[in-house]
Amino acid sequence: MIRLPPKAKEHFFLFAVLSAGTALSFAAAPTKSYAAGFYLQEQSVSAMGAAYAGAAALPRDASIAYFNPGAMPALEEGQLAAGANVIFPNADFQDRGSTLLGAPIAGVDSDDPVDTAMIPNFDVAMPFYDGALWGGLTFSSPFGLSSKFDDNWLGRYDSIKADLRTYDVQASLAGQVNDWVSVGAGVSVQYADAELTSAAFDGLEGRSKLSGDDTSWGWDVGILITPMEETKIGINYRSKIDHTLDGDLTVTGTAASNGVTGAKADLNLPDIASVSVAQEVTPQLTLLGQVTWYGWGRFENITVVRDNGTIAKVIEENYDDTANIAVGADYKLNDKITLRAGYQFDPTPVTSPDRTTSTPDGDRHWITAGMSYNMNEKISFDIGLAHIFLSDEPIDLSRNAGLAAVHMDREDSSIDIIGIGFKYKF
pLDDT tens digits for range 329-361: 999 999 999 999 999 999 999 887 888 888 878
Is residue 281 packed enough to be buried (19+ CB in 10 Å), middle (13-18) or exposed (0-12)?
exposed
Per-residue pLDDT, 21: 42
Which residues on adjacent β-strands are paired with residue 311?
A: 305
For residue 277, which of 10, 57, 22, 12 has the smallest C-alpha distance?
A: 57
What is the C-alpha radius of gyration for the chain, rounded to an integer number of angstroms?
23
Vertex 284: Cα angle to 229 and 426 (nearest 5): 70
Per-residue pLDDT, 47: 96
Q: Cα–Cα distance between 262 and 307 in angstroms, integer?
A: 5
- pLDDT band at residue 11 using 50, 70 and 90 as cut-offs: very low
What does the pLDDT average to over 25-32?
Answer: 42
Do 85 and 74 contact (CB within 8 A), yes or no? no
CA distances from 1 to 4, 136, 409 (A): 10, 24, 66
Buried b (16+ CB within 10 A) or exposed e, 308-344: eeeebbebebebeebebebbbbbebeeeeebbbbbeb
Per-residue pLDDT, 17: 40
Per-residue pLDDT, 146: 85
Residue 84 three-state SS: strand
pLDDT one-digit tens code per residue, 120-131: 999 999 999 888
% of the chain beyond a pLDDT of 90: 70
Instruction: Kindly report the backbone phi and psi dihedral angles of residue 28, in degrees, each rounded to the nearest multiple of 5, phi listed first.
Output: -90, -5
Per-residue pLDDT, 354: 85
Q: Cα–Cα distance between 347 and 393 in angstroms, integer?
A: 13
Residue 74 three-state SS: helix
For residue 330, which of 372, 383, 292 has the smallest C-alpha distance?
A: 372
CA distances from 396 to 93, 94, 392 (A): 12, 12, 14
Is residue 426 packed enough to be buried (19+ CB in 10 Å), middle (13-18) or exposed (0-12)?
middle
Q: How many C-beta atoms lie closer than 10 Å to residue 133's C-beta? A: 16
What does the pLDDT average to over 371-399?
Answer: 93
Residues 6+ apart with CB under 8 A from 152: 106, 107, 108
- pLDDT band at residue 111 using 50, 70 and 90 as cut-offs: low
For residue 162, which of 359, 301, 403 has the smallest C-alpha distance?
A: 359
Q: Cα–Cα distance between 118 and 25 in angstroms, integer?
A: 13
Per-residue pLDDT, 112: 66
On the question of pLDDT at 316 being above 90, the answer is no
Say what the pTM is: 0.87
What does the pLDDT average to over 131-156?
Answer: 91
The dotted CATH code for 6-425 is 2.40.160.60
Q: Where are the alpha helices (DSSP H) in 163-307?
A: none
Do 146 and 115 contact (CB within 8 A), yes or no? yes
Tell how strand 259-269 and strand 117-128 pair up. Answer: unpaired
Per-residue pLDDT, 69: 97
On the question of pLDDT at 79 being above 50, the answer is yes
H/E stretch holding 64 reads: helix 64-67
More confident residue, 20 or 294: 294
Per-residue pLDDT, 36: 53
Residues 6+ apart with CB under 8 A from 12: 4, 128
On the question of pLDDT at 32 being above 50, the answer is no
